[in-house]
Amino acid sequence: MKRVLSLALSVLMVLSLLAGCGGQQDSTDDAAPSETGETRDDLVIALATEPTQLDPHYLSDTNSSLVVLNTHDPLFRRLPSGEIEPALAEDYELSEDGTSITLYIRQGVKFQDGTELTAEDVAFSLNRATATAQSEAYTESFKEAVVVDDYTVRLDLLYPDVAVLPLLTQGNNCIVPKHVVEEVGETEYAGNICGTGPYKLVEWQKGAKLVLEANEDYWQGAPAIKRLEYRILAETTTAIVALETGSVDLVMNIGALDAQLVQENPDLAYAETTSTTTYYVGFNCAKAPLDNKLVRKALAMAVDKDAVILGAVDGAGVVAANVMPDGTTGAPAEADQPTIPYDPEAAVKLLEEAGYGPGELTVHLAVREGATKKAGTILQDQWKAIGVNTVVDTLERSAMLNDMYNGNLEAYIVGDVALTMDASMQTSTLDSSTIPYTNSTFYSNPEYDALNDEQAVQMNDPERRVEIITQMMEIEVEDAPRVHLYHPVSNIAYNKNLNVEVSPTVEGYFTYGMSWN
């Protein structure tokens, strides 16, 4: 059955890598805003944290994905609206049994070194991503990509996967040139990127900025923004001042108080939407005392989510019923999702049933500086109200992740991003097969796993899929491996003359669609 998507918009090798394929040049000139009345063609975006590296198949953080999705192309792109449109694949065909998808590759597309994109590059990229641990969450159902002809690739799947198209929109599945990777070596591509995207990396001053320039030969046409800079500004206050003075044009995900100031400034604009991130408390189901379901559920039922939102993010969030925000394919509307109720009195009874009297239970809760630390302090008070002592441990990101994956933490607060906006990625966060990296709660329930396998193959019965996922949510509510807190507001503050659409995810800011009035 053929699915047609309408298109929204109709050393030589090494030298080329350095000159036209993302090699870093020593250039320190900052482009200034136009003062001549002419339409600007430069853009400066503030980033709170620096990308770690730019090899698509080794991506592990949001800001790296943002840059990669502007220097490389995936086979399909997800718009801020949630709609999926063709990119390097102009069409596709799904097999009758759902175990393979045939991808018809756009002809005439060139990498930034002038080499034409072919099926060899697509198959190479998908197989490379499949073999990379960092991309496992985005390739779990992939078996092998096979070249059919110069512009056709068949992606064979281990099982029918309703999320295969959303997975192919991700930065981890972007297409890289086979010849460049083979020329520079597997581990060296990150320093010699050469995508088909609308921008080329020309400079990276570590700790300061990344500078990109327009790919004038981009297959969709030359971008309106000719010079793109991602400036690293760790402090939001610094970024807002830079926005007010005009040295920065766009800042993402600011706090409620800063948002109010921006909206009072006639030279700036503000837009917001609910993000696809869910902040939650994860309980280590394999470590005492949280290996006891009664204890986990008691802690979950003592959480006043509205108070957490008010105290942790100044009210800039929406209560999370589950880990699937509204608009997640395959999930019921969030208002209809099973969730653990707020009931402190019932929580006390559960603790008594588990054998704990007032003050007899102590829980260690790991957080990071910022909103999760504020949330942890609020939970400390809420759990104290039911007789539980809480030690809030503030950790650095790397240390916290390491302890999570090694099962050293009792409880922790983290954010989970619904990148594909398909339920399969979110249900996998409790599947025992994904312990410890995706499922860091170490929760294991054969019934849940079986249902997860069943929902993933409901390609032709979306109503049945919603029923199954609702049943999985009911199991989660009963076992309480985690308690969902809130979906933060995703917002942008920007120069009022910039044409930009707010995105629920950082990765959704595709600069190709931006321009100046």
pLDDT tens-digit readout, 315-344: 889 999 988 887 788 888 888 899 999 999
Strand pairing of 100-105 and 142-149? unpaired
pLDDT band at 37 (very low <50, low <70, confident <90, very high): low
Nearest-angstrom CA–CA distance, 213 and 193: 13
Candidates 332, 344, 393, 390; CA nearest to 367 is 393
pLDDT band at 27 (very low <50, low <70, confident <90, very high): very low
pLDDT given for residue 21 in this prediction = 59
- For the cut 90, the answer to whether the pLDDT of residue 266 exceeds it is yes
pTM value is 0.78
Nearest-angstrom CA–CA distance, 411 and 282: 5
pLDDT given for residue 8 in this prediction = 31
Q: What does the block give as tokens for 361?
A: 């239970």
Measured N-to-C along each axis, helices 462-479 and 446-455 cross at an angle, to the nearest 10 degrees, of 160
Task: Quickly count: other Cβ atoms within 10 Å of residue 447's Cβ.
Answer: 11
**DSSP string over 241-306:** HHHHHTS--EEES--HHHHHHHHT-TTEEEEEEE-SEEEEEEE-TTSTTTTSHHHHHHHHHT--HH
Q: What does the block give as tokens for 186?
A: 């597997």
493 forms bridges with which residues in the sheet?
251, 270
pLDDT given for residue 196 in this prediction = 98
DSSP state of 29: P
Q: What does the block give as tokens for 486?
A: 């809130």
Average pLDDT over residues 345-354: 97
Q: Are 515 and 500 in contact, with CB atoms under 8 Å apart?
A: no
- For the cut 50, the answer to whether the pLDDT of residue 283 exceeds it is yes
Nearest-angstrom CA–CA distance, 415 and 484: 10
Q: What does the block give as tokens for 329?
A: 């394919």
Candidates 219, 136, 210; CA nearest to 173 is 136
pLDDT tens digit string along 359-418? 999 999 999 988 999 999 999 999 999 999 999 999 998 899 899 999 999 999 999 887
pLDDT given for residue 92 in this prediction = 97
Strand pairing of 411-417 and 277-283? antiparallel
pLDDT tens digit string along 444-454? 999 999 999 99
Strands (E), 395-443: 411-417
pLDDT tens digit string along 122-144? 999 999 999 998 898 899 899 99
Nearest-angstrom CA–CA distance, 321 and 129: 33
pLDDT given for residue 331 in this prediction = 86
Nearest-angstrom CA–CA distance, 440 and 497: 44
Nearest-angstrom CA–CA distance, 213 and 206: 18
Which residues make Cβ contacts (< 8 Å) with residue 282, sequence separation at least 6?
404, 411, 412, 413, 414, 440, 441, 481, 482
Nearest-angstrom CA–CA distance, 437 and 442: 10
* Domains along the chain with CATH numbers: 42-230+496-516 (3.40.190.10), 277-490 (3.10.105.10)
- Diameter of the chain by CA atoms? 74
- For the cut 50, the answer to whether the pLDDT of residue 117 exceeds it is yes
Full 3-state SS string of 325-365: CCCCECCCCHHHCCCCCCCHHHHHHHHHHCCCCCCCEEEEE
491 forms bridges with which residues in the sheet?
272
